[in-house]
Structure 1
Amino acid sequence: MKAVIYTRTSSITDRQTNDRQIADLTKYAEANGIEVVKVFNEKVSGAKRNEERAVLMACLEYAEVNRIDTILCSELSRFGRAIWEVLSGIKFCIDKKIDVFFQKENLHVLDGDGKVDGIMAIYVSCLSFCAEKERENIAYRLNSGRRLAIARGVRMGRKVGSVKTRQQKEEQYKDVIKCLRKGLSVSETFAICSQKGTKCSISTIKRVKKEFVG
């Protein structure tokens, strides 16, 4: 049985890594005689639309083209925190007869015969809904705290003098600029740079493209 590992963290900085997810899923695969042929690591918010998550899209495409049996994921929330996006990704896998295993929930999308378990579908929907509500609650608390801080006179935004010069940005995003100048799309650039460990987001790449490539 062939599998790929998909991991995700929300932070695009070094504050969070995908190492634990990879280690746990690799251990699971070895214990169950599963061959892991590729690992996809993504650093992006789970609230993003699937189309904005270049590594996830690359993972799904790779799994389809290479006839991968299973996508291994540490937990359902790593697949996304927006319910309709999660269900969209899972439906893609079901249509292509690709199983998805969520380790934390010990949940398979397909059973041993390659069929969808109706109870599983309800369970996934409920978990996705809870994950989305958790994200909304976090956003509410953050915005509430921000409003309170502003009311107290706290200055928000960048510190004075923290804006990078054009030369600094050109050095920081040299890999991004190189990809864009080769004619690669924003999503392709994001996927390549993420694999290299370059810290950037889709919106950042769009700004860099506008400023340096045109």
Structure 2
Amino acid sequence: MDNSTIKDLSDEQIVARIVGGEQQLYENLMRKYNSRMYRISMSIINDNAEAEDIMQIAYINAYRQLANYRQQSSFGTWLTRILINESLLHKKRKTKKDKALMETTFIDEHHETPLNGLMNKELKSILEQAVASLPEKYRLVFMMREVQGMSTNETMEVLALGESNVKIRLTRAKEMLRAELSKAWKPEQIYEFNLVRCDVIVNYVMNKINQGLF
């Protein structure tokens, strides 16, 4: 099957072919959702390396469960839920670990997430810091709706929220960001996920799948 034909298939059709034995097609789904997965995980974890690790785990977990995917929601929604659950579980474990460490020693670390290729790095840094400062429940909705362009309905489904809650949280997130920013901002530049990083995630997961190491 050539690429033009693959692009004409729905996610659900690709899933069916993967389950039927064409496991190499999983790469197409990963490349389609890598940017969304990275941005949403970063909105919870705010650590570049850890977000990528979580993506790999989420993709492998999703692959293992493909045969049980019943299409009660879109594949993108189903996959995003798996990512969020893994991100929240990781955050919970990390919080417990950090608490234990703080009981015995003082740790003063500053984790930065360097992102390259933008002309105005200073503005980009300000934008990311402003988004990172949002409380998690507002940051997640903002990332899904404004940065990733997910619909209200899909955001409602992924987060198990009512429409009014989604809209209220998005409005509140924007209000808090306006208080931090005085310049125009470009949401598509936040937590950029370039081709090289995309290749790393895809190659890692596909190698695991091909070797049966999951």
Say whether the fold is shared (TM-score over 0.5): no
Q: Which has the higher helix share?
A: 2
User: Higher relative contact order by CA 8 Å / sep ≥ 6: 1 or 2?
Assistant: 2
Q: Which has the higher strand share?
A: 1
From the CA coordinates, give the structure whose radius of gyration is larger.
1
Under a length normalisation based on structure 1, what TM-score does the superposition of the two structures give?
0.29
